Chain A
Amino acid sequence: MAVPDYFAWTKQLFDPAGAFRKPEALRGIRVIDLGTIFLGPSTVSYLAEFGAEAIKVELPGIGDPLRAIGPIYHRNMSLFMLSEPRNKHFIGLDVRKSRGAELFRRLAAKSDVLVENFRAGTLDEWGIGYRQLREINPRLIYSGNNGFGQWGAFAESGRASYDAVAQAESGMAAITGFPGRPPLKSGGYVGDYLGAAVSAAIILAALHWRDRTGEGQFIEFSQTEQLIRSLDWTWLAHRLAGVKRTQHGNRDVAISPGDIVPCADGMAAICAPTDAAFAGLCRAMGRADLAKDSRYADAVSRAREENATALLEVIRAWAARKTRTEIEGLAAQHGFSAARVANARDHVEDPHWQARGQVVRTDDPLYGEIWNYGSPPKLSATPARVKWVGKPIGMDNNYVLRDILGLTTAEIKDLEAEGVIGKWANRPGQKPPDDWAGEGQAL
Chain B
Amino acid sequence: MSQAENPTEAQSWSEWIRERDYPSAAGTKPEALDDLVVLDLSVANMAGLVCSSFLSEFGADVIRVEPPGGDPARGFAPFGLTQNGTGLGYLNEGRNKRHMTLNLETGEGREIFRGLAAHADVVIESFPPGAMHAWEIGYRQLAPAHPRLIYCGIATYGQFGPRAAHHIPDSDLVAQALSGVTYVTGLMDEGQGDPAAVPTKQGNWHGWFVGGVWAAFGILAALCHRMATGQGQFVDLSPAEALMRSADYSLGLLKLAGRVRERMGNLDAGAFPYTYVRCKDGYCFLSGFVDLNWQALCTIIERPDLRDKYPTVPERSRPDNQKKIHAELEAWATQYTYEEILHKIQVYDRTVGKGAVATGKITEPAEVVQVENWWERDALRIVEDAHYGELLVSPPAPKMTRTPPRLKWVCRPVGADNGAVYARFLGYGRDRLADLRSRGII
Contact with B161, one of A244, A253, A331, A356 (Cβ below 8 angstroms):
A356
Contact partners of A235 in chain B: CB under 8 A: 92, 365, 369, 380, 392-394
Q: B15, B247, B287, B359: which has the most chain A beta carbons within 10 Å?
A: B247
A interface, size bucket: 35 or more
Q: Select which of B214, B215, B225, B283 is within 8 A of A25 by beta carbon.
A: B225
Say yes or no for A373: interface residue by CB 8 A criterion: yes
Query: How far apart sit A375 and B88, CA to CA, in the bound complex (Å)?
Result: 31
* A-B pairs with beta carbons under 8 A, tally: 642
Cβ-based interface call for A322 (8 A):
no
Is A311's CB within 8 Å of the partner chain B?
A: no
Q: Knowing A23-B225, A177-B200, A230-B206 touch, does A182 contact B184 (C-beta < 8 A)?
A: no
Docked CA distance A248–B18 (Å): 38
- For the side of the interface on B, what is the size category? 35 or more
Stretch of A89-97, A101-109, A268-276, A414-422 on the interface side: A268-276
B226 to chain A, nearest CB (A): 9
Whether B237 contacts A376 by the Cβ 8 Å rule is yes
CA A253 – CA B30 in complex, angstroms?
Answer: 39
- Which of B43, B368, B380 has the most chain A CB atoms closer than 10 A to its own CB? B368
Q: A228-B394, A274-B169, A377-B236 are in contact. Are A173 and B400 (CB under 8 A)?
A: no
Give the residues in chain A near B317, CB-CB below 8 Å.
69, 71
Residues on B with C-beta less than 8 A from A240 are 81, 83, 88, 391-392
Residue numbers in B under 8 Å from A272 (CB-CB): 169
Assess whether B334 is interfacial by the CB under 8 Å rule.
no
Q: Which residue of B lies closest to A129 (CB)?
A: B13
Check if B235 is an interface residue, CB within 8 A of chain A. Answer: yes
Interface residues of A in 364-388 (CB under 8 A from B): 369-382
Is the CB of A19 closer than 8 A to any CB of chain B?
no
A247 to B203, CA, bound (A): 7
B320 within 8 A of A: no
With a cutoff of 8 Å between Cβ atoms, the chain A residues found around residue B13 in the complex are: 120-121, 124-125, 129, 131, 150
Contacts of A355 in B (CB 8 A): 160-162
Asked if A76 CB lies within 8 Å of chain B CBs, one says no
User: Which residues of B270-315 have CB atoms within 8 Å of chain A's CB atoms?
Assistant: 270-271, 274-276, 278, 283-285, 287, 289-290, 313
Kindly state whether residue B216 has any CB partner on chain A within 8 Å.
yes
- Distance of A19 from chain B, by nearest CB (Å): 13
Contact with B along A217-244 (1 / 0, CB 8 A): 1111110111011111111111111011
Query: Does the CB pair A69–B54 fall under 8 Å?
Result: no
Q: A184-B185, A253-B78 are in contact. Are A162 and B199 (CB under 8 A)?
A: no
A-facing residues in B106-140 (Cβ within 8 Å): 129-131, 133-134, 136, 138, 140
B210 touches A206 (CB 8 A): no
- Return the contact of A342 from the options B180, B200, B210, B221 (Cβ within 8 A): B180
- Do A219 and B213 touch across chains, with their CB atoms under 8 A apart? no
Is B425's CB within 8 Å of the partner chain A? no
